[in-house]
Amino acid sequence: MVNPSGPPVVLITGASRGIGAATARLVAARGWAVAVNFVSDMSSARALADEISADGGEADVFRADVSDAAQVAAMFTAIDERFGRAALRGLVNNAGVVDRAARVDEMSPDRLQRMFAINTLGSFHCAREALRRISTRHGGSGGSIVNVSSVAARLGAPAQYVDYAAAKAAIDTFTVGLAREVAGEGVRVNAVRPGIIDTEIHASGGQPERAWQSASLIPMQRPGRAEEVAQAIVWLLSDQAGYITGALLDVGGGR
Ligand code: NAP
């Protein structure tokens, strides 16, 4: 099963659909083996891995709720067993959720716990496990981490989801701090900040038409496509961005 001279492996969290799935397709076409993480939609994750394999790439699926540190650790062990511990070179912290539009004075403690557990702590849990494999400090060969933040981190998302925006702002600070912490250990850490992208995340927050309804708020007058965000993620992941670390790259059509 394990091929020591195989392709570099990247774990993409939340890759069963949307930006994660688009990133998986693109990075596989660039020669990476892909660990496709999902939490609930096994059939979509499996179909994506099968599609990548049918196109000549390599991919497998790994279930874990990124907010659960034990599940994350078990997922990394499973990835080690599938591809070899030394093969891991990349992590895309993409899994994320929104909730219903609400004001802060309406937000329950449970909602806030979930928002920060998945969107912020999940990225810490995955980065910790990845660094133990890729950092030269731990005997690794180096690699790259790309975090998926949001332009909401600087806009604040008032009357929509200030909790989500704050959780993503924490990702921005996490990116800058971690980048500087591990810059001498062969690991680059960057973030993309998507604007309004046409994916199913808006339906999951009770606003299925949000992407196109928001077009007039976007200087380019249209929502972005998942594939357009994937291009930025894959570039930051790649050696082409070899001198870039701690960067926050907006992919927001000018928003
Ligand atoms: P999406 O279509 O709703 O997909 C979310 C993905 O995350 C799914 O694959 C889902 O897996 C996974 N996921 C959810 N909770 C998880 C958990 N606890 N553990 C592991 N995986 C989990 O979202 P998207 O629009 O592609 O967004 C991807 C990232 O971009 C998110 O971080 C989001 O905040 C960010 N972003 C999106 C936009 C936008 O407008 N779309 C804008 C800015 C930033 P299952 O299918 O298995 O449930």
Q: Does 158 have pLDDT greater than 70?
A: yes
Query: Can you give the C-alpha Rg of the chain in angstroms?
Result: 17
Is the C-beta atom of 200 inside 6 A of ligand 1? yes
23 C-beta closer than 6 A to ligand 1: no
pLDDT digits (tens, 9 = 90+) for 161-186: 999 999 999 999 999 999 999 999 99
Q: Which structure tokens are listed for 77?
A: 């062990």
In sequence order, the 6+-apart residues with CB closer than 8 A to the CB of 230 are: 19, 22, 23, 25, 26, 27
Taking the centre of ligand 1 as the mean of its atom positions, its distance from the CA of residue 203, in whole angstroms, is 11
Band the pLDDT of 61: cuts 50, 70, 90: very high
Of the chain, the percentage scoring pLDDT greater than 90 comes to 98
SS3 10: strand
pLDDT computed for residue 3 by the predictor: 60
Residue nearest to atom 41 of ligand 1 (CA): 197
Gap from CA of 31 to ligand 1 centroid (Å) = 24
Residue 120 near ligand 1, beta carbon < 6 Å: no
For 189-231, write each residue's pLDDT tens digit: 999 999 999 999 999 999 999 999 999 999 999 999 999 999 9
Q: What is the pTM of this model?
A: 0.98
Question: 1 pLDDT exceeds 60?
Answer: no
- Report the alpha-carbon distance of residue 50 to residue 60 in Å, rounded: 8
State in Å: Cα 22 to ligand 1 middle.
12
Closest ligand 1 atom to the C-alpha of 42?
47
Residue nearest to atom 31 of ligand 1 (CA): 96
pLDDT 10s digits, 96-144: 999 999 999 999 999 999 999 999 999 999 999 999 999 999 999 999 9
For ligand 1, atom 1, name the residue with the nearest CA: 201
Top mutation candidate among 25, 39, 151, 202 for ligand 1, by most atoms within 8 Å of CB:
39
The average confidence (pLDDT) of the chain is 97
Domains of the chain, CATH where assigned = 9-251 (3.40.50.720)
Is there an atom of ligand 1 within 6 Å of 40 CB? yes
pLDDT band of 5, cuts 50, 70, 90: confident
Single-letter amino acid, residue 223: P
Q: What pLDDT was estimated at residue 178?
A: 99
Distance in Å, CA 104 to ligand 1 centroid: 22
Q: How far is the CA of 109 from the centre of ligand 1 (A)?
A: 21
Contact at 8 Å (CB) between 113 and 67? no
Q: Two tokens at 151? A: 């332009």
Answer yes or no: is the C-beta of 224 below 6 A from any ligand 1 atom. no
Number of residues that make up the chain: 255
At 245 the pLDDT is 99
Q: What is the pLDDT of residues 68-91, one digit of tens each?
A: 999 999 999 999 999 999 999 999
Q: Which residues contact 152 (CB under 8 A, 6 or more apart)?
A: 161, 164, 165, 168
pLDDT recorded at residue 2: 59
Q: Which 3 state secondary structure label does DSSP give 195?
A: coil
Average pLDDT value for residue range 92-96: 99
Are the CB atoms for 220 and 212 separated by under 8 Å?
Answer: no
Catalytic residue annotation: 164
- Residue 164 CA to residue 202 CA, distance in Å, equals 13
The tokens for 134 are 């890729």
Output the CA 30–ligand 1 centroid distance in Å. Answer: 22
Mutation to probe ligand 1, out of 67, 97, 160, 209 (largest number of atoms < 8 A from CB):
97
